[in-house]
Amino acid sequence: MTVDPVTTEETFRHYEKIAQAVDNKFYNAVGRGFQTDRGYIFLKYGRPDNMIAVENEPSAPPYEIWFYDKLDLTGEVNVRFLFYNPSLAGYDFQLLHSTSRNEKQNRQWELELYSDAVNEIDGNRVDATRMKDNLNRRAREYFEDTN
């Protein structure tokens, strides 16, 4: 197999520009932007087709849900990633749950997201996967929205 050095260099420079933009966008006090969970997902799968950012929902730290119609890398469709900032420090968003078969999946993501509302778990703490319905609790609705 022969490698075209011009194309290879152009491809690398293009990727380098994307990595720099990701570094600038997701840089935080914990690390470089491309080392964060959001930076990793962005570099691996590209820009999400849609995103919801929630900053001030009662009983939940800030969170973001990224929606991808299709992941070209895996062929998966209708994929979602939920990132949250449990420490509330410096935009340190961590991947809490995804529907991708290749990324983190957490059956109890809703309990972790709303960990300040321990008395509102639907069921017992060991087996529960949902919180009780609440008008101000929207993450599951957003995450499961198919529009």
pTM of the model: 0.87
pLDDT digits (tens, 9 = 90+) for 3-57: 565 678 888 888 888 888 888 888 877 778 888 999 999 999 999 999 999 999 9
What tokens does 115 get? Answer: 């960990």
Number of domains comprising the chain: 1
Domain of residue 65 covers 5-144
pLDDT digits (tens, 9 = 90+) for 107-126: 999 999 999 888 888 888 88
